[in-house]
Structures are given as structure tokens and as C-alpha cells.
Structure 1
């Protein structure tokens, strides 16, 4: 998602990351002399905090990245799952860690762009408290429906909802999913009663059984259910079709404008982490993502790689904050 897709302009909320990125580049971040300063780093294992439970998309991507990073850095990457408060607990633990490069925290759209403007428990401000290092993976989202509905496209779902008032339900368990529902309803007039779940497994179990009508989730999590024929994919919520689901159209194909839902996993460090360590982590992450084992796994899971340097990463994160803040302002907070 970016600001041009939403017709938005950058706001003052995220200018800190843009200005910070410019300062970093001006200081020579990413050049070999800066990286030379970190020649003794790392000399012990690095802990990567995942602010969600084990087994989800963020956890999976972090472990794939961690294995490749261990080979490149010579140090283990210890994945620490810290679930709680929709990702707030783990994110705050990362913010409060020593800024020495030995604790990093994974961020997602929900924890970095959504929680700070919608979740009262998220008393943090990413441009002030964190430094974006690199994008680990970019993930399209897809809307799936229960097979017993008998619908194959978004227009068919809308027509079903009009003919069966109050019948459609929606399984949600993340902030991204909740705003995906709200935004789609706002843009199409579709009405779905939200049903909260503790996680993807429980939610998809009920969609498969036909106890709930639909859900929107990342394609990596959805593909096993789609490939087994357990659910029906009806629309991609991002700007492009997926090579894995070439016959599934986008919301744009369905005539829906100004609606883009997708997500990502990115690497962050505490704000005071030195420039040379940030440069090192960015460089090694980009190398790791290009190794064949990572390329193969990402292809299998339909995760896209974004080869962003530090300033490009900061600009991307700033655009995410702007875009999600605009959607939240339009649809209202979840709490």
C-alpha cells in the first residue's frame, strides 16, 4: 500500500522517518566505511522479537530470515515470540531493549501503522521510538468465503448479501482484517456481521465448516485452505493479481476504487541504535533475502521480497502510516 494508491499526501505524523532517512543517507549510511565501524558486530546471538504467537505469518517469515542471517553473520538468530495486546506487548519490549543491535523487533502493518492510532494500549510512536531497518517480506491479501455460499466473485457476494439481509458474517482476528472488512463495506455497501476469533486457525475452521461466511487474510495463510478446496477465493485486496491465483481478480477488477489491503513484515531496532549497526543489518538482510533457500521458501509461500535500503525502508514505512491513518480516520477506530 502506498500514498499514491490512496491519493494521500504524507502527513506530519510520519515526517520523522523521512527526515531521519535523509540524515542517515547524508551521513553515509550504507557505505563501506560506516560498516567497517561495526566489524566486531555481531559477536554473540541476536534476539528477534516477534510480537505474535508462534506459527503465524510473522513468525514464519522471521524464522526463514533468521536462518539465512545466521549463515551470513556467523551468529544465531534467537526468535522470541511475545504475543499479547494485538502485538503491543512485544513491540514495546523491542522499543525498550538496549540499542546495541542485539535485540531487534519485527513489525507489521498492525503494530506499526494501525495500533498507534487505534489501540489505546499502544502508547508508543514508531517514528520516535524505532528505526526501520529493512522490509523482510511483502504479502498480498485475499478474501475467501465458505463454499456453501456458492459465490465465486465479489459482485456475487455483494448480490448475495443484498438478497439475504443480515446473513453474512465475517471472521476476524487482526486489526488488518478488521479494517479490511470496514473499508470494503464502506466502498461497496456490503454488510457483514463481525465475529472475533483468537487466531487464524479457529477462524478458518469455522469458515471451512460454513459457520461463518467470509474472511480476509494474507495469501500465505490462505493458500493451504484454497488449494485443498476447503474455501473459495473471490478477490485479491491488493493492486495486483497473484501468480498463485491468476484467475482471482482484484478489487479494482470488481469496480472498487480507493481500497488496498496488504501487509508486510519489517525489521526495526530501538531508536538509539548506532547508524553503522543499522547499515550492517540492512545489508545482511538484503543479502539473506536473495539466498536461494529464502527465494524458494518465499516463492512457495507467495511472499514478495522488497530490496529496500535504509532510506527506502523509512519512506515506505512513512507511507504506510499515512495510508492506514487515513483509512482509520474514515472508518473509525476499532476500540
Structure 2
């Protein structure tokens, strides 16, 4: 009887080993991530600040040669076209998106989106901060933020500020300034940063809250005068220029941030691996130098920190969007 039991146990063990073998073999054949090119969607056109940062980051991440990062421009509807596509992509780590502060603005700006700003994405990491800078024509009589505020209060509605378009960070940073300074200045939307800055330099626009990446060359050439930056701390690219907070409005803080998202459901180990790669890229001296040349500052975070930050930004910017009265598509 003992022999028959032993024989049964051996037979059962053998059958279990044979059943487990294919699964183990299949698992061992799974390709190591990443095993093919990663697509990094930029929801804006080539040459935009988002595009420039994506190419700096992507080229560094792929520098080892084990995989490629392909930048894919999908502009349209304030970045929502690209975001919609990524929200619906397979959560396998091979489709990512580099979003800007506009991602948080759009949550309130658009009454209907093709995705949920929070639930449909897995935050990977913040990447960079690009301060906006309040600029005027180099020949302007305004030498400081206080000069602008005094003039605006003396003649309400007479001054104007240009932006890259309604609902953009260049628009909302101006609207936040209006709210906190208690002034009435007229918003003039353009179809891009370049056109808006051209009119400020020509004297047709009074001022603009422009991205440092776009304004710095003209400030250095003496075509624009920088009055203040929008971030809580001074920009390393413009260390002599005060913040709006330092200029009499301590509660003012507008940060044009950028960060990487993956589709919701992307495995945690892949998100963590991407976070580590982004952190490695941002810590390299050549990337930091290239970012600094664009007026950007590296800003890595954990996935959890980025998730909390997005939620906070949505809450902070929602009342600014509502009070401005801006509507999607204007």
C-alpha cells in the first residue's frame, strides 16, 4: 500500500511540474521593458516649449542606446487632442505624454473632455518649471510692477496685456495678476507666443506674461524689459529680476510646470522605472545646462508627489479660469 501511495505522489508531482513548465517558460520569455521605442506625445506643435523640453528629455533617456524615445506632436484644442489619445492608449509604458500646466487649466476650461484629467492618467514625474516673466517694450515708461499697477488704477481698462491665446498659461497668469492687484487691464489673445511678443516689442501691446524660454533672447537683446517673474522664487536665468510676490503681491504664484503622464493602469513597476530614468536624465549636467539655456529649471518628483500636485493645481486655477470668464475655443 505504501508503494502505491508513493507512486501516486510521484505521478501527481510529475503532472504538476509539467503543468507549471509552460507557464514558467512563457514568463521567462516576456521581453524586458523597454523592448521597443517609447512614444512621447507632445500635445502642442513643434518648436513649442513643451516640444523643446520633450526632445531634450527624450534624447537623454535614449542615450544609452537600448531603446528609442520618439517625440510625436499631436497639437489641437489646447492640448486636449493629444491627451485624449494617450488616455485611450494601452497602459504598457510605450505611450507617454508630456503635459504642461495647461493640463490642470483644461480641467475647468473645457466643460466636456474626452478623458478624466485625474482618473485616466498615471502620473510619472514632474520634469521642469518654466517661469513666465512680465515684459514690456524696452522703451516703455513702466519700470516696475508698481508702475503698471499705478497706471492701471489711474485709467481702468486702458492698459492691455497680450497672451498666446485664451486659456493659455500666458493668459491665466495675467488674470491671476489682475485678481490679486485689483486692477482692470484688457486681455488681447493671439494665436501664439511669437505673435504676441512681436506686438509688445513693436509697442502695439502694453505687456505680456511670456514664458522665459521665449522672452529671454529679446530681454538680452534689449528689445524687451523684464519686470517680474511669476514663480514663488526668482528664476535662475533672470536672477536680478524680482518675483511678482516680491513686488508687492505676496500671495501671487503662477508656475508653468511640465510633467510626464502615462495612461491609467500602467503597471507600478513600469511607472517607477520611468521615474528613475527621468530622474537620471534630469540630474545629468548637460541636460541641466540645456534646460537652463531655455529658461527652464529641472523639477523631478515622485509619482505620488506629482499626483498630489496636479490635484492642487486644478483647485488653485479653477477660480481664476471661472473669474476670467474665458471659454474653450475663444
TM category (shorter chain) comes to: 0.7 to 0.9
Aligned-residue offset at 1:312: 2.0
Paired position in structure 2 for 1:84: 76
Aligned-residue offset at 1:246: 2.7
Which whole-Å CA distance do the structure 2 matches of 1:299 and 1:179 have between them?
A: 24
String of CA shifts for 1:104-138, please: whole Å, max 9, x gaps.
01111112x11011123534222210010011111
Q: Secondary structure at the match of 2:275?
A: helix
Which whole-Å CA distance do the structure 1 matches of 2:119 and 2:278 have between them?
A: 23
String of CA shifts for 1:229-285, please: whole Å, max 9, x gaps.
111111111211223323322222222142211111110011021111111111111
Which whole-Å CA distance do the structure 1 matches of 2:203 and 2:324 have between them?
A: 28
Paired position in structure 2 for 1:67: 59
Structure with larger RCO (C-alpha < 8 A, sep 6+): 1
Q: Note if 1:213 corresponds to 2:206.
A: yes
Q: Secondary structure at the match of 2:130?
A: strand
Q: Note if 1:186 corresponds to 2:167.
A: no
String of CA shifts for 1:172-229, please: whole Å, max 9, x gaps.
1242222212211111133222111111111111111111111112222211111111
Which whole-Å CA distance do the structure 2 matches of 1:275 and 1:37 have between them?
A: 20
Paired position in structure 2 for 1:159: 150
TM-score, length of structure 1 as denominator length? 0.83
Q: Secondary structure at the match of 1:221?
A: helix
Paired position in structure 1 for 2:93: 101
Which whole-Å CA distance do the structure 1 matches of 2:98 and 2:72 have between them?
A: 10
- Check conservation: 1:52, 1:81, Cα contact below 8 A: yes
Q: Note if 1:249 corresponds to 2:254.
A: no
Q: Secondary structure at the match of 1:262?
A: coil
Aligned equivalent of 2:253, options 248, 260, 274: 260
Q: Secondary structure at the match of 1:106?
A: strand
- Check conservation: 1:116, 1:123, Cα contact below 8 A: no
Aligned-residue offset at 1:37: 12
Aligned equivalent of 1:118, options 109, 116, 124: 109
Cα 1:166–1:97 shift into 2, 3 Å: same
How many residue pairs are counted as aligned between the two chains? 299
In our comparison, the structure showing a higher alpha carbon Rg is 2
Which whole-Å CA distance do the structure 1 matches of 2:92 and 2:81 have between them?
A: 20
Paired position in structure 2 for 1:276: 269
Aligned-residue offset at 1:165: 4.7
Paired position in structure 1 for 2:47: 55
Aligned equivalent of 1:230, options 223, 230, 239: 223
Which whole-Å CA distance do the structure 2 matches of 1:88 and 1:107 have between them?
A: 10
Return 5+ residue gaps in structure 1 as ranges: 1-35
Root-mean-square deviation (Å): 2.1
Which whole-Å CA distance do the structure 1 matches of 2:183 and 2:135 have between them?
A: 15
Which whole-Å CA distance do the structure 1 matches of 2:156 and 2:264 have between them?
A: 50
Return 5+ residue gaps in structure 2 as ranges: 1-27
Q: Note if 1:320 corresponds to 2:313.
A: yes
Aligned-residue offset at 1:329: 4.5
